[in-house]
A and B are shown apart, each in its own frame.
With several copies, the nearest count.
Chain A
Amino acid sequence: MEILLFGIAKDIVGQAQLRFSATEETPTSVGALKTMIGEKYPEFTKLSSLAIAVNSEYAEDDVSLNRNDEIAIIPPVSGG
């Protein structure tokens, strides 16, 4: 499982992607992913908001995650 990182999320993690190896336990839902990254990188809990995109669509906490999904962490957007 590979998770795309953008903006401040990339700075917090220190790289452009977060990888879970095949043997690692992976989060099974959007909510679980949020909890996991908040524990591993406490800086995420200080952001104004934190969203997850699954297959390039915003996803609610109850959406389940599969190994083939394109998953991205969406920190507070600031376009325009």
Chain B
Amino acid sequence: MIKKIIEIVEKIDTSQVFSELSDAQSGGICVFVGTVREFTQGEQVVSLEFETYEKMALKEMDKIATTAVTKWNLNKVIIRHAIGLKNVAEPVVIVGASSGHRDACFEACRFLIDTLKETVPIWKKERFENKSVWVSAHP
């Protein structure tokens, strides 16, 4: 049985995630999807562009998943990130966990996305009408 799904993809299909995390020993599945928001700090975003150091990103994502499985005794876990150009409302990342009870999957899901944002080598460029900016690059 596949316990961890760790992937970097061109396009995220959100329709299969609950089937992927479904499990007879789980009473709860929690999933977070990050999507492209139209406005950031009042400025209209045209699109986002993601790039990655793929080999390292997959390693870091796998570490996060393994830590979460151990800490919260998860039955299944998924971390999938998209790269390339993404338009408003498109999904860019999906993380999720299934566990016996809901406390564990909620806490794990929050940990997965928070830690991904801190450690996984993926970079996001926000494209506005007249400029583009690498997010978080400068203080």
Query: Is A–B contact present in the complex under a CB 8 A cutoff?
Result: yes
Residues of A with Cβ closer than 8 Å to B? 4, 6-8, 11, 46-48, 53, 56-58, 72, 74-80
Q: Verify if B104 is at the interface (C-beta below 8 Å from A).
A: no
Residue of A nearest to B114 (CB): A80
B121 in contact with A76 (CB, 8 Å):
no
Known: A57-B59, A72-B53. A77 touches B138 (CB 8 A): no
Complex CA distance for A49 and B27, rounded to whole angstroms = 24
Complex CA distance for A72 and B53, rounded to whole angstroms = 9
B113 in contact with A6 (CB, 8 Å):
no
B121 to A: closest C-beta gap in Å: 5
Complex CA distance for A34 and B118, rounded to whole angstroms = 20
A11 in contact with B123 (CB, 8 Å):
no
Residue of A nearest to B83 (CB): A79
Q: Which chain A positions have C-beta within 8 A of B122?
A: 77-80
B53 in contact with A76 (CB, 8 Å):
no
Known: A6-B121, A78-B122, A78-B123. A53 touches B137 (CB 8 A): no
Complex CA distance for A56 and B120, rounded to whole angstroms = 11
Residue of A nearest to B133 (CB): A8
Q: Which chain A positions have C-beta within 8 A of B116?
A: 79-80
Q: Verify if B93 is at the interface (C-beta below 8 Å from A).
A: yes
Q: Which chain A positions have C-beta within 8 A of B125?
A: 7
Interface readout for B119-139 with A: 1 if CB under 8 Å, 0 if not? 111111100000000111111
Residue of B nearest to A76 (CB): B136
Complex CA distance for A78 and B116, rounded to whole angstroms = 9
Residue of A nearest to B55 (CB): A56
Q: Verify if B92 is at the interface (C-beta below 8 Å from A).
A: yes
B139 in contact with A8 (CB, 8 Å):
no
A28 to B: closest C-beta gap in Å: 22
Q: Which chain B positions have C-beta within 8 A of A80?
A: 34, 81, 92-93, 113, 116-117, 122
Interface readout for B48-82 with A: 1 if CB under 8 Å, 0 if not? 00111101110100000000000000000000010
A48 in contact with B113 (CB, 8 Å):
no
**Which of B123, B135, B138 meets A6, CB within 8 Å?**
B123
